[in-house]
Amino acid sequence: MQLLFGVIMAMKIEKYINEISGAPEKKAESVYQKVADSFEDDLLDYDEFPDGYFEFVINLLSEESFYLKPGLWNFLMVLGTEKQKMKRFHYESLGRIFIDHYRFYLNEDLCLAVCDFVARNYEEVFARFILDKLKAIEAEKDSNLRGFAVDGIRILERELERNKSG
């Protein structure tokens, strides 16, 4: 049964990659949203985040052909809603990907989603570490791609305050 799930997952991932890769720039946002919705539905079948699906997201966030297209941020929204399925090593892997590739992210929505995701889903110390790194990276980016890490820090502060009073 496990083998069958693995084969089905691999087929779905291949289909998703083909859909995203084949999407023209003008339709990329809607294709990413459609694929992310299907991806989120797939995750309902699992109690823990499957390795194959996690590797898929890592590839999206680390390969230029994917992160330069608008709409990738939709997958970070899915990760945020499925956070109970993720383990510490997932967050550590994502943190490394964010730090290593953030300088290449040229889409404002993706930059905002990364910083928002870190602020809302990481433990405080790790979130501050990542957001400080991203803030330093932003200093080297065009002006329209700056300020998202500072927004992330503000979101983190609000989340911490809400958790204290709630």
Q: How far apart are CA 98 and CA 131, in angstroms?
A: 10
**% pLDDT > 70, the chain:** 97
What Rg do the C-alpha atoms of the chain give, in angstroms? 16
CA-wise closest residue to 155 among 125, 129, 126, 131: 131
Domain parsing of the chain, residue ranges: 1-86, 108-166
Q: For 103-137, what is each residue's pLDDT tens digit?
A: 999 999 999 999 999 999 999 999 999 999 999 99
State how far the Cα of 75 lies from the Cα of 43, in Å rounded to an integer: 12
> From CA 98, how far away is CA 118, in angstroms rounded?
9
Please tell me the predicted confidence (pLDDT) of residue 36.
Answer: 98
Local confidence band at 165 (pLDDT 50, 70, 90 cut-offs): confident
